[in-house]
Copies of this chain bind each other. A is one copy, B any other.
């Protein structure tokens, strides 16, 4: 197989042995793989892949075709169009994935779009619904709304009946965020002027959370899954947490066990897949690069202020 390989900070396309699917796994011919902030960190040596996954092939999400199944896997999966999150190794012509981690791609969705679905939508869904206990009519503040996870979170929260307040660094992209389902779009400086919220999804970090903690409704749930844009040391008013009986939960998806990821994905397939099929959820692709030009794709991804996913297409 051909794979994007991290070699001392640079990206090369290298030949590797195509792995065989083990018991319970499938082999996927990858057609598209989305880029994520974690790939940039991994390229810099800051975010190693968890054990059991390729250590030097980046990529956390993919879409492709099942071309072989391991022992115990239902043969009806062969030739199916699927997408998945993986612990690493997605940016490759082939990838082995646990069968219970797959989501079937809706008929009307392209591989490019599907290649940008799994990581952002699974992450946003787990944070909002499984960690943050979001329910219909909750007021949900999404801090860092214009990134991949943020735009997925807006669509999920809106589709599930919540009232979405999208918070961004500047007021760019506000029209697009409203089209995705945000009822209100604000910059972080405006956060203290809004009504209190039931759920905060924190994707930026301390700088945003320090401000957003002032608008907690009783029993508010804060879920922190990113600190890259705002620093990691938050100054939190514990008396305010006591008075509102609020909860803060930190979370990551990548390092979870196979079994735990399977639970999340079963929940995604139950709740999000029907919404994706009927067009309530949509992956917005900003730009697609052939995986031979991964370096250019990473550089473009690193630029601030863009909107939508960056995808590697693999042929």
Q: Which residues of A contact B (CB under 8 A)?
A: 202, 205-206, 209, 224-225, 227, 232-252
Contact = CB atoms under 8 A, between A and B. Distances in A.
Contacts of A245: 249-252
A235 B248 CA distance: 13
A250 B241 CA distance: 5
A234 B236 contact: yes
Interface of A: prevailing SS: mixed
Contacts of A243: 250, 252
A200 to B, nearest CB: 12
A49 to B, nearest CB: 15
Contacts of A224: 238, 241-242
Nearest to A224: B238
Nearest to A206: B238
Nearest to A231: B238
A251 to B, nearest CB: 5
Contacts of A249: 241, 245-248
Contact of A248 (B225, B232, B247): B247
A241 B251 CA distance: 7
Nearest 3 Cβ contacts at the A-B interface: A241-B250, A242-B250, A232-B239
A249 B248 CA distance: 6
